[in-house]
Structure 1
Amino acid sequence: MMKDVIEEQLYRLEILPLSNIKWKKFDLCLYSDSSNQEYLNAKKKIRECVPKGTSGVYILTNKEKVLYIGESEKNIHSRLRRHIDKIYVRTDSRSDFFKLKEHQGLLSIYYWSLPPNLVDKRKNIEALLTNALEPEYKKWDLKNQMDRLETAFSEIDQGFN
């Protein structure tokens, strides 16, 4: 129910739909097993499409499915390049999500360069969009948190037996 109220407000404020004029969009084709040149091309495309110093929020989608929602106070350009690194070069646990085949391929990237009077509201906008659009990353992260909690409780139970 709250999700519906938030989504309705996002439409009323013209933050949604992503097809509105506020959002800029470009596409990247990313596969973790592709060549180093494709990795460099993806980073170049971000450089060309997102001006350095752009503040705001961004959304990564794959086949109309929202994968990830993020924000940056000073440089969406850098944040997006770090997401590309998660697919190609990073090995930390956060990169595992982006290495899953169903989260690769043709990705559409939307970003909204916020006007100066809204930059300090970017985290609020990100949180509301996350609630309304339910990105796959949040579901994946919550499942991993639940799995870790289950493991911890299981270890406690084993200690009592």
Structure 2
Amino acid sequence: EKNMGGGEEVVVLDFWRSPYAMRVKVALEEKGVKYVTKEEDLGNKSPLLLEMNPVHKLTPVLIHNGNPISESLVILQYIDEVWPHSSPLLPSDPYLRSRVRFWGDFVDSKIYAAAKKLWPAKGEEQETAKREFIESLKLLEEELKDGPFFKGA
């Protein structure tokens, strides 16, 4: 760990294939926040991960000046509030902001959940999982068609 300048230390506890950790790193990059990534082995969790996220014991965890923040959507809200002066992550309009939050939850509860079912499934169970996954992606794709940024964010 090293000082990030301006007295701020920002560390992301990460797992290489975590889409949740990726969303945190994209937000930090978008905001121009310098950070250090610490890769976690979820099969052999580090004492730091267990200390910083004692409830879920999972990544991602954002550690800002020694304070841990867990759960990617909560971390995104924190990032937007702590570094508000560059690249807002959400639209300024309250309705559009609520839509972005809705679709963020949709990705977590439907798309990731459907994708996780695909890998271990076999036969008809896998075909059903594929259909659910594709239908979820189609719904999201319909929402994304209006421009280069989701809901103007």
Q: TM-score range by the shorter chain?
A: under 0.3
The alignment's TM-score, normalised by the length of structure 1, stands at 0.25
The alignment's TM-score, normalised by the length of structure 2, stands at 0.25
Greater relative CO, 1 or 2 (CA 8 Å, sep 6+): 1
- Which has the larger share of strand? 1
